[in-house]
Each structure stands twice: as structure tokens, then as C-alpha cells.
Structure 1
Amino acid sequence: MEKPGRLYIDRQHPLAYRSALEFVDTVKKIADEAGLGRDLVELINVRCSQINRCPSCLKAHVPQLVRAGIDATKIAVIPAWRDVALFSAEERAVLEMAELATELPQARDADARYDEIASVLTPDQVSAAAWIAVAINAFNRISILSGHPVR
């Protein structure tokens, strides 16, 4: 059920939404080709969705993160990932990319953070992680602007 005064923009313009879904399919392919595992992809999806406070994307992606093998303790502390020693170098790099792509910090800060990411991931993985973050950020906005409910 739609929120009063809100349109489901995905239903209002289904062609645009289908194009967004095709974009996600392309991003999934480049992530696979770059060797980013499902766990790393879903860490990006969850962290971006947390930052954007998108309940419907969190409802969709947290179970996928569990299916990808991330345990409940790690999931619980994702917002505090910098403060715990639970995450691998690769996990920390993709979480950094998720935040970098979602928050869009000032250039000086972004350069240092990007260098840190690039010291862990291959160029293809850096690019794929960025595209994953771009894609989930787009879907966060589609869902938030539409007021998609969580059932």
C-alpha cells in the first residue's frame, strides 16, 4: 500500500525502473568478474542502506548477507566497523567504499580514503565496489522517495 501523497516511482515509470534493474544486473556481472564475493557485495549494499536509512533495502539485503555467510555479530557491528577487529582487510576496504560513495566527502579526505581502498583491492575490484555502491544508493533513493513499506 502506497503512503498517502507518495507515488511508487518504480510503478509510475516502469521503463526507467526496468533500466535500473538492468543496470544492477550489469553491476553484478562486473563484481563477479572482478572477484568480489557475494559477502563483499552485500556488505556494501547493507552499509549504504544503513547510511541512507532505507528500511526496505535493509530488509532485502540483510538476509542476503546472512546467506552469504556473514554472522550475526559482524552484522550487528557494521556501523562501528572501524572500532572492531572483526573485519578482514577486504571487508574494511568495501565498507570504506560504501561510505565514501554514499557520503561523498571533500576531495582531500576522499583521496586518502580512496588510496587506502586501492591498497587492498585490485583496480577492477575498486571499480566494481564503487559501482555496487552507486547502484544500491540509486535503489535506496527509489525506495525512500516512493515510501516503500516494510512488511
Structure 2
Amino acid sequence: MTIRISIKDLQPEAYKAMMALENYAKSTEVSSTLKELIKIRASQINKCAYCLDMHTEEAIKLGESERRIYLLSAWKESHLFSEDEKAILQLTEEVTDISENGVNDVTYNSVIARFGEKITAQLIMLIVVINSWNRIAISTRMIYKK
């Protein structure tokens, strides 16, 4: 598999805008480990090896257990995730697969009830940002190098 264009080099202003979104994502009130779980789950759905490699490594550095990372693709059946985490992971899946059915009211209302409007807005933006990175990495065949 050959690497394709570098958006960072060819369109630095676009990349700068993505980095601004990434910096916003880093500043949200959502815990760092939960941010990484969101990134991993969206990247699993999108099959983005670059982002999976990066974010599983980061999650482990932050103290996330490898066991939970291994079970993330089957979170609905796992007892290792809290109800709050399950609500966020459901939102992650629905936003990532937005063309399937959108975000259903049950999911949306559950997240609003648990976290309020401000954190829900932050969660949606976190999911949007990682989905954007996934699309950049996949379409340009980026390779993660430590």
C-alpha cells in the first residue's frame, strides 16, 4: 500500500483548521481516557488503522486497561463499561454511522439526561473530530509512526 498525498503539506491552512478542532477537543471537560475510547471506537467502525494504532497506544499510556480496549468492539455485551460509558459509546456509533439512521431520540435523550447539554455538545464534537481525522488518514493512507 503506497502513501498518497499529504494534506498537511499541500493544504496547510486546512490542516491548521483541523488542528484547531483537535486543540478544541483536547480542551473539553471529557476525561482523557474517555476521549481515547471514543476515538478508538469510531476508528474501529471506520477501519482506520492509523488512528487505532495511535489512540490505543495513547489510551494505554493514560492508564486504560488493555482488556477494556480489547472488548471495546463488543462494549454492549461487556460488564466492563459503565452505563455512562455505554451511553457515550452508543452516541459515538450513531454519529459515526450517521447515514444509517441518524442519532435516535433514545440515545440523544440518554446522553443529555446523563451529561447535560454542554457536555453532550462536547461529546458530539469529539466524535466529529475523530471521524474527520479517520477520513483524512484513510483517504491518504497515512501510516502511524511513533
Fold shared, TM-score > 0.5 on shorter chain: yes
TM-score, normalising length: structure 1: 0.87
CA–CA distance in structure 1, aligned partners of residues 118 and 83 of structure 2 = 16
Residue deviations 1:5-36, cap 9 Å, x none? x212232211110110011111222x23xxx1
Amino acid in structure 1 at the alignment position of 2:80: L
Contact kept in structure 1, 2:94 and 2:101, CA below 8 Å: no
2:76 paired with 1:78: no
Matched, 1:19 2:17: yes
Query: In 1, are the aligned partners of 2:54 and 2:144 still within 8 Å (CA)?
Result: no
Does residue 131 (structure 1) correspond to residue 129 (structure 2)? The answer is: no
SS of the residue 2:92 aligns to? helix
What is the rounded CA distance, in whole Å, between the counterparts of 1:149 and 1:27 in structure 2? 22
CA-atom RMSD, angstroms? 1.7
The number of equivalent residue pairs is: 144
Q: Could you tell me how far apart the structure 2 residues matched to 1:69 and 1:119 are? A: 28
Unaligned 5+ runs, structure 1: none
Question: Which of 42, 47, 55 is the equivalent residue of 1:48?
Answer: 42
What is the CA–CA distance in structure 2 between the aligned matches of 1:67 and 1:122, rounded to whole Å? 29
- Structure 2 residue aligned with 1:121: 115
- 1:36-85 Cα offsets, whole Å, 9 max, x none, are 11111111111111110001111111111112222111110101000111
CA displacement at 1:111 relative to structure 2: 1.6
3-state SS, counterpart of residue 51 of structure 1: helix
**Shift in Å at residue 146 of structure 1?**
0.7
Runs of 4+ in 1 over 4 A off after TM superposition: none
